[in-house]
Chains A and B, each alone.
Chain A
Amino acid sequence: MAAVRTSSEVAFNRIAIAAVLIATLIFLAPIYWIASTAFKPKELAVSVPPTVLFEPEVTPFVRLFTKRVQMQKTVDPQAYEAAPWWEKRIYDGGERVLKVGKDVQLSQYPDRFMNSLIVAVISTVLAVGMGTFTAYGFSRFKIAGEADLLFFILSTRMLPPVVVAIPMFLMYRAVGLNDSHIGLIILYVAFNLSFSVWLMKGFMDEIPKEYEEAALVDGYTRMQAFFKIVLPEAATGIAATAVFCFITAWNEYAFALIMTNRRAQTAPPFIPSQIGSGLPDWTTIAAGTFLFLLPVAIFTFLLRNHLLRGVTFGAIRK
């Protein structure tokens, strides 16, 4: 801009910033609604008019993690007194927590959450590990048909999940990998590998090759140079790639819906299946959604300087 700013420019600038703030509020409103519903008393989740301010409670999370049944008669006062605070909250709602002996029965949610964690972490480690080696290969060595190979790698990422899922479902059924962690991990590695190669290649290209040349002159083997010089230099890139792969695997829905139904089911197909019939308990669903979205929100802030690179497969770096 010109050094001297006219008053109309200043005014326009202010209007633009005000507009940005309003837009930010609009974009965050749905997320606020999820987060706030997770802390609402049941009746306020579906109140008319919608409740924006209220006294938060953690009861939805207690409901999320426990198996409960509707109580036929009122609770025995002695049992109520003896119950811990969280169990009282359940009694207050006219329900009781199911137990085997003294052990509280957990709902399916922690199980599904763990499945998501296992599948996302293992598939991320494999995809980023393989991707890092391959990216180094593409970055440093002459490869016949390099552009075509890279296109081939990227194109596997673009395949619509349902298209790949049909034959994979049949093949998994034949070898007994349906509804297994390994089956889902393989699919997620295949899905993230191309992304990991492309993103890591961008990071590898930025590491000056003179570093390794100097190491080779100093008597390192190529492998030593790779592990001792290149990998430490690429640490930030590896971390960013890993977080992206984790988020993709964590959020993935279509493969999980088709390939799993009980044992290995992850949270994304599980959470919508909670809706069931009748009036859904939105506070419990919101509590599950909130816990599920929280890691991604935190990772988004950690990744903020690499987001552009990530969503363009490393092509645009700023």
Chain B
Amino acid sequence: MASVALTHLDPASRAAARGWSDLTIRNMFIIPTLAFLIVFNIFPLIYSLGYSFTNFAANRSEPWQFVGLQNYRELLSDDHIWSNFVITAKYVIVSVAGQMIVGFGLALLLNRSFPMKGLITTLLLLPMMMSAAVVGLFWQLLYSPSWGPINYVFGLGDFAWLSNPDSALYAVAITDIWMWSPFVMLLSLAGLSAVPQHLYEAAAIDRAGWWYTFTRITLPLVSPILLIALIFRTMEAFKTFDIAYTMTTQPTAELIAIRLYKQAFQQWDTGKSCALAYIVLIMVLAITNLYVKYLNKVKER
């Protein structure tokens, strides 16, 4: 990437003699953005790091006290929080696995030429562009035990998807799979179309079977991009709030982001929720790091 930089930022360059120097322009172009992000993202996080060591409650006016690591200690030994993490893990596994399978499957089916392919691909991408909160709300009607089309079509009678503690989480995961399989499909399609055709031709000449071609040519060449889809969706699923929050109130579907929201804005346990926010943040940053690493790898190819 460094090769793209075309100037030496010489304050006395010829262009600079006629106007601002490149150095000035570079700083003018970059510093406001960095400053904005520091003021509105980093500064608030430092602010809440401070609060995470206190017993501050935002809805009360009494002065807060410094409590050291007590919030963190309590959170890490709180069974309730652990169960939220377990629920989140279940949700991430089910919904991301579903998205990978459905999305990659769709891409394999789509990876051939047929009439109106472009239109159909775009139609399939619609769900992921829509507001998760609003669409999630509407899935309540689709899942409705009394008049929902889903129960009618599958003959499930009055099975209450969203108010049954055993199924609520998976009902949300199904909606998430519907929304985000198209994302995996989009990335997989790009990966599949980049596989050189001559490899398939060579395999055909060698009379290689379908399975052999798939596992020895297709999968290895598509896997870097699949990995990106996997990491990105894992990160997003881990952060899920909107869709689960609008779809169900079941405690068995209380993801960690929902727990955090309730603790901060319903129980007003501000100090402790700042601490929980930090635990979540560290996990997200770890996945982000991984994501960017693989993103740069694919970019360099």
Contacts and interface: CB of A to CB of B under 8 A. Distances in A.
Contacts of A299: 129
A137 B260 CA distance: 38
Given A1-B200, A134-B30, A190 B112 contact: no
Contact of A149 (B14, B34, B112, B298): B34
Contacts of B47: 167, 170-171
Interface in A1-59: 1-2, 13, 16-17, 19-21, 23-24, 27-31, 33-34, 37, 45-50
Contacts of B137: 271-272, 275, 285, 289
Contacts of A27: 123-124, 126-127, 178, 182
A203 interface: no
Contact of A187 (B40, B134, B291): B40
A51 to B, nearest CB: 9
A99 interface: no
A228 to B, nearest CB: 13
Contacts of B22: 141, 222
Interface string A246-289: 01001101100010000000011101100100000010011001
A289 B280 CA distance: 32
Interface stretch (B72-80, B89-97, B164-172, B185-193): B185-193
Contact of B134 (A153, A171, A282, A292): A292
Counting chain A CB atoms within 10 Å of each CB, the highest count among B6, B121, B204, B241 belongs to: B6
B30 A271 contact: no
Interface string A230-259: 000000000000000001001101100010
A82 interface: no
A305 to B, nearest CB: 9
A166 B134 contact: no
B30 A315 contact: no
B4 A139 contact: yes
Given A20-B106, A286-B138, A315-B299, A31 B133 contact: no
B15 interface: yes
Given A31-B126, A289-B137, A316 B246 contact: no
Counting chain B CB atoms within 10 Å of each CB, the highest count among A160, A258, A282, A304 belongs to: A160
Nearest to B147: A46
A60 to B, nearest CB: 14
A109 interface: no
Contacts of B40: 168, 186-187, 189-190
Contacts of B32: 130, 133-134
Given A50-B147, A301-B122, A223 B19 contact: yes
Contact of B142 (A33, A158, A161): A33
Contact of B146 (A19, A37, A46, A153): A46
A158 to B, nearest CB: 4
B41 A190 contact: yes
A159 B190 contact: no
A296 B134 CA distance: 12
B112 to A, nearest CB: 6
A45 B146 CA distance: 12
A247 B299 CA distance: 25
Nearest to A142: B5
A147 B293 CA distance: 11
A100 interface: no
Given A222-B25, A224-B19, A299-B129, A194 B295 contact: no
A113 interface: no
B134 A193 contact: no
B87 to A, nearest CB: 16
A158 B141 contact: no
Contact of B9 (A23, A142, A164, A307): A142
Contacts of B26: 137, 141, 143
Interface of A: 1-2, 13, 16-17, 19-21, 23-24, 27-31, 33-34, 37, 45-50, 130-131, 133-134, 136-143, 146-147, 149, 151-156, 158-171, 173, 186-187, 189-190, 193-194, 197, 205, 209, 212-213, 216, 219-224, 226, 247, 250-251, 253-254, 258, 267-269, 271-272, 275, 282, 285-286, 289, 292-293, 296-297, 299-301, 304, 307-308, 311-313, 315-316, 318
Shortest 6 CB-CB contacts between residues of A and residues of B = A221-B19, A137-B29, A167-B44, A253-B133, A251-B131, A167-B48
